[in-house]
Amino acid sequence: MTLAQSQSLHLVALARRAAWPLSGLLLAATAMACEHRATLGSVAETARRKEAAVFTNTEYPRIAMFWSPVRGDRSLRGHARHDLIVTSEGWLGLEPDREPRGLADGFTPESVQAARKRLAQLRELNPDVIVLCEVNFYEYHDRALPEDHPWWLRVDGEKEQFWPGTHRMDWYNPQYREHVVKQTAALEQAGVDGVYYDNLRNEPEPWIALLKEVRNRCGDDFLILSNYGYAIDEYDFAAPYLNGVMYESGFSHHRTEWDDTIAAMRHTASLLKPPTISCIERFEDIEGRSDGPLPKRRRPETRDPQTRRWSMCYALIVADYYYLFSDNTFHGHDWYPEYDVKIGLPKGDGERLGSHVWRREYEKALVVMNLPGAKEPYEIEVERPARDSFTGDTGTRFTVPPGDGCILLWEE
């Protein structure tokens, strides 16, 4: 007998004892059974995806999305073009099960069903897509909790502002961390592949305590991605509990020497829990300001294609990274033709050919970068005809200027 059947019989027995109207209870029992089957369906789908590791054979380049969709396309199909999606509870249709919102440990049953439906539609369009949902925990909007709530971080009795209209949470409070763990577990039950935690900081004690408990509650198959921001290896204490780290653009700003950076990033990659889902995001350079806001009006074509080329090659060569080329910290982005040119899986690790020149072979292509700071162009000669997926150039000889890269797709 299934759990749903036993619940139905239990309700009927109660009706007989209490002389309740049987028809109403049968309707309740049917609704309970339907909800149970939906839950089992979601759990079964999640288990199937974990067992099959559906995304581990996704061809490169693997393109990520952080909240903002492709410019001009907010459709579900537009979302499904990406290989990794970091999104919000609201986009999934999840509604808190308690008000004010900051007190909610989970989501209403109706909204969980809506989220599962949206995820099913998305996976029908792209079966290999990874969907992570952010748990916003480091700071709360001022309306999220009562003013006198003990979870607010206070310094000398005053709340600590983060952004205007938001204030920091007391990350060292074990009751608050348990609240975050419950929110994370509720996301797993809603059917997402994992969670995204922003604002990783050099606070080993609360972070390790949280991540250990999330692993205990959600298991090792639940994916965890966290934001290293502009840091490189400062937060490696957390890496063994994570499946991936997100490097925002600042790690590469104005850098001209790369060996130590690449070594540190590769070391972090070696610490992560497989399967790994790390991501490199590079902001577009605008008049030397790659970390500031863009003008409201911008030209339809990117102003900095060279930076897009070398940074995408960096993601493909240094380790197994997802990639996003975006405007700024709002993560708005376009879809470029080279994103659709799939080059298979890597055949080995990236190789250093010189102080700024690296290469890596893929099943269908050779990827080469000549990093910013190089003194001269790098000349490539290959044994068979190839086409650069960035420029469309074809041949057996190619030149990579300083601060540039190429993806040489083997011609049939």
| DSSP-assigned states of every residue in 120-183 | HHHHHH-TT-EEEEE---SEEETTSS-TT-TTB-EETTEE-BSSTTEEEB-TT-HHHHHHHHHH
Q: What is the pLDDT of residue 327?
A: 86
Q: What is the average pLDDT across 4-29?
A: 36
Q: What is the pLDDT of residue 17?
A: 31
DSSP code of 59? P
Q: Give SS3 for 286.
A: strand
Q: What is the pLDDT of residue 329?
A: 81
DSSP code of 296? S
Q: What is the average pLDDT across 205-227?
A: 96
Tokens 């809603």, located at residue: 190
Structure confidence at residue 47 as a pLDDT band (50, 70, 90): low
Is the pLDDT reported for residue 26 higher than 60?
no
Q: Which fold, 60-340?
A: TIM Barrel (3.20.20)
Q: What is the average pLDDT across 108-126?
A: 97
Alpha-carbon distance of 233 to 241, in angstroms, equals 15
Q: Give tens-digit pLDDT for 247-257.
A: 998 888 889 99
User: Facing residues of 25 across strands?
Assistant: none
Q: Of 262, 248, 246, 257, which is closest to residue 350 (Cα–Cα)?
A: 262
Residue percentage of the chain with pLDDT more than 70: 82
Q: What is the pLDDT of residue 55?
A: 77
Question: What is the chain's mean pLDDT, rounded?
Answer: 86
- Record the tokens describing residue 349, joined without a space: 């690790």
Tokens 């419950």, located at residue: 182
Alpha-carbon distance of 403 to 412, in angstroms, equals 29
Answer yes or no: CATH 2.60.120.1130 is held by domain 349-412.
Answer: no
Q: What is the average pLDDT across 283-291?
A: 55
Alpha-carbon distance of 111 to 93, in angstroms, equals 6
Q: What is the pLDDT of residue 251?
A: 85
Measured over all CA atoms, what is the biggest interatomic distance in the chain, rounded to whole angstroms? 89
